[in-house]
Amino acid sequence: MWSDPWLLQRGHTLRCEPRDFPEWHRGRPYYLCWVINADTPAVRARWQQARTALQQLLLPAYGRQPHVTIALGGFPQTQAEPQAINAAGLLAQLQGLRQAAIAPFTLQIGRLDSFASVPYLQVHADSTGYADARQALLTQEALAEAHVPHLTLGHYADAWPLATLVSCRARVPEQVTALPVQQLWLVAYATHDIGGRLLPVAAWDLQQQALHWHDSHLLGPIAAGVLAAAGV
């Protein structure tokens, strides 16, 4: 059984458009989000196995690494706007992580499932670590929105009937793979590419309770304010 009510009600997937969406990004080059890096040998093998079973249904260009999205950030910009994040907003997220002091935890990667527009592998948490991370990074308003932890496999190339998905799922063994989580990653992706690679900005180390910068230039107009406040 599929988990998405929309998918079950309509009986088919949604076709994704492989194009730029300037009406969404309005020329803003990057979008920030917090993720868990799921690119371990065991999880990548599961991810690739599922993608192979579904490959005839997916858009061919998908360069994004295996990951689990914890929280959306927004377009980095100095003005306060919907879907944007300024220096104060990012600093509040970092402060939330410091206060939460989340210990390393483990996720379990489960069976194949699907939203209307993307198939995914289910994600389950063994402890409160995942929920605590979301609590630390998101506002109460954002936390109230529906959220399903998942490991995205790609984007559907057409409106495929459920019967086709069932046939593909039969080729994906149902098993559970452990994913140890030692870091929470702040990443950016280029807004002109819906399936482009995730670019590391910084990593919050759960063992050291410290932030390690990788490429702060991806913060664009808020980089100077964030780095100055962080003492970098």
Domains of the chain and any CATH numbers: 5-229 (3.90.1140.10)
Is residue 136 within 8 Å of 93, Cβ to Cβ?
yes
Which amino acid is located at 27 in the chain? G
- In order along its 232 residues, the chain shows pLDDT tens digits of 788 998 999 999 999 998 999 999 999 999 999 999 999 999 999 999 999 999 999 999 899 999 999 999 999 999 878 899 999 999 999 999 999 999 999 999 999 999 999 999 999 998 899 999 999 999 999 999 999 999 999 999 999 999 999 988 889 989 999 999 999 999 999 999 989 999 999 999 999 999 999 999 999 999 999 999 877 6
* Euclidean distance between CA atoms 61 and 30, whole angstroms: 19
* Euclidean distance between CA atoms 36 and 42, whole angstroms: 15
The reported pLDDT for the residue numbered 232 is 63
Q: How many CA atoms lie within 13 A of 202 on its CB side?
A: 21
Q: Hey, how many other C-beta atoms are within 10 angstroms of the C-beta on 108?
A: 13
The reported pLDDT for the residue numbered 20 is 92
Euclidean distance between the first and the last CA atom of the chain, given in angstroms as a whole number = 50
